[in-house]
Amino acid sequence: MLSEGSESVVNLRHKSPHLHLRSSRSASMLAGLNSLKNPAAEMSSFAKGHQRSPSDQARNSLVLSDEFPAPPNLPALDYSIKKEGIINRKKLCEKGGKKAKKTWSPCYVKLSSANMIMYKNQNAAQPRPGFAHGQPDSSCDLRGAVIQKMPDENKRRNIMQIATVAKLCFLLQVDDVHEFSVWYHMIADVVKYLEENEPVDNGLQARLYGDIVNISRPPPQPTSSGFSRGSLKKSRGDGDRKNIRDKLKKLITRRPPIEELQKKGILKDITFGCHIEKLCLREQTKVPKVVVGCIEAIENKGLDFDGLYRVSGNVSSMQQLRITVDQEENVKFGERPFDDVHVLSGTLKLYFRELPEPLIPFDAYDHFVNAIKLSTKQEKTVALRTHVNKLPSPNCETFRYLYRHLKRVMENSNKNRMHAHNIAIVFGPTLLAPREEQHGSIALNTVYQNQIVEFILLEYDQVLGKDN
């Protein structure tokens, strides 16, 4: 017998239009109500387990019906490592066909039956926490790939090329012939295995690097007027180039000469790169002002700086000082921002390097070299003194002024470590050099240049005379 509450529930269910969908649930609810009144029945029903309703069984019959068959058993690829080792690699194309930087570099390669994984080195291939397969540099899917042996490249032998469907092309090279053969056949076997078990979609094809580069483009379609777009662009480009050429010719022919620009003050004479005789004439001095300014500032700061003339100065500050001197501005050597001794010494060396002709002119180079080749010290001294006195006046005065300064630098060599030999190495190629067509052996010329500068420093009083 059902209680009044149970009968009311059943009456409400009878009034629902979806009674046939809920009958199983009503029965389970009634069984639950009865179980609350009978604890023994509750325990027996719990022991028997939950019985599935007809609706649940119907739902299960839909899932297990023939309309949704189980997925087929696909061949599982073996991702275990077949071979690994160090191989030289050169990329030809990145993925997508983008050209890569073509340089050889060693890498660590792991080959499985599905792909190739490449690492920068063997250490990167070791598994780490969070990186079960190490830290790979790149990977290569070998499905649909093409492999081919390549001819030798310079001194490199045993080369193969691999191209993938994703337009990734690269070369692999192994020095040992046997090891190369093992790698080549194993990769070829993997490609063949994947072609049989995991073929790529129709229309996808891997191309070797040469095939990618040599793919011919379709010819340009002619326009309605009979001319192709390319021919129109070409004719238009030829016309633009001709107009530019004509304008440049008119500009060059109308351009005033340098002398006229200098008279008008538009073009000022520069100091760096100007012939020393012309510069002294313009400045009305015996020694260029930039030489005097740098040397005086260096001597005021002291000659005991370690590596004086050997340590390079700040390039930016040197260029700033050079531009200031070239613009004929009032330069205060030795004061900010030109107070660094190495900037001053570097600027002085830069001035002598920028001379269109060395301080010892090209015509006098052979005379100085022949003088240093003489056998005795006395003969060398007399010959060098004679050739120094024959130099043009601005060259001779500047040469003597510079050597007086270098002699003081050498006298402080116990502090600045600039002995005569070190000074000769710095100033030898700067003060004298042969003409370009007479260079001969560069090493032999350098030896003569250093010997001349060093001998004059050591025999300063005999060659240049005692200081007044």
Q: What is the mean pLDDT of each run of 10 residues along the chain (468 residues)?
A: 45 46 48 47 45 47 43 54 88 76 86 86 84 82 86 85 86 90 90 82 58 47 50 56 80 71 67 90 92 94 91 90 84 87 94 93 93 93 94 94 95 92 93 79 88 94 81
**Quick count: other Cβ atoms within 10 Å of Cβ 416?**
21
Q: What is the pLDDT of residue 14?
A: 47
CATH of the domain at 113: 2.30.29.30
Residue where a domain terminates, one of 213, 229, 252:
213
User: Do 205 and 288 belong to one domain?
Assistant: no
Domain that holds residue 297: 276-464
Q: Is residue 359 part of a domain?
A: yes
The answer to whether residue 410 is domain-embedded is yes
206 and 352 co-located in one domain: no
Say what the pLDDT of residue 386 is. 94
Spatial strand order of the sheet with 159-163 comes to 138-141, 115-119, 105-111, 83-93, 169-173, 159-163, 146-150
Residue 107 sits in the same domain as residue 201: yes
Please report, as a single letter, which amino acid is at residue 289.
Answer: K
- Structural contact between residues 158 and 123, judged by C-beta atoms closer than 8 angstroms: no
- The number of CA neighbours under 13 Å toward the Cβ of 350 is 23
- Asked whether the CA dihedral 301, 306, 312, 314 is positive or negative, the reply is negative
Together in a domain, 209 and 351: no
What is the domain-level CATH number for residue 371? 1.10.555.10
Instruction: Say yes or no: 200 and 300 in one domain.
Output: no
Closest to 402 measured CA to CA, from 360, 446, 361, 365: 360
| Alpha carbon separation from 368 to 391, 404, 405, 442 (Å, rounded) | 11, 19, 21, 16
- Roughly what angle, to the nearest 10 degrees, separates helices 393-411 and 289-301? 10
Q: Please list the alpha-helical segments (H only) found in 198-286.
A: 209-213, 229-254, 258-264, 276-283
Residue 424's pLDDT is: 94
pLDDT at residue 217 in the model: 43
Report how many domains make up the chain: 2
If one counts every other C-beta atom within 10 angstroms of the C-beta of residue 354, the result is 13
Structure tokens given for 422: 């070190």
Q: Are 139 and 118 contacting, i.e. CB atoms less than 8 angstroms apart?
A: yes
Written as six digits, the tokens of 281 are 């004439």
Identify the pLDDT of residue 39: 47
Among 213, 229, 264, the domain boundary falls at 213
Does residue 239 sit within a domain? no
pTM metric for this prediction = 0.47
Do 174 and 281 lie in one domain? The reply is no
Is 374 contained in some domain?
Answer: yes
The last residue of one of the domains, among 170, 190, 213, is: 213
- The reply to whether 208 and 341 lie within a common domain is no
Q: What is the pLDDT of residue 98?
A: 73
The reply to whether 25 falls in a domain is: no
Q: Identify the pLDDT of residue 438.
A: 67
At residue 143, the pLDDT reads 83
Tokens in use for 277? 């005789």
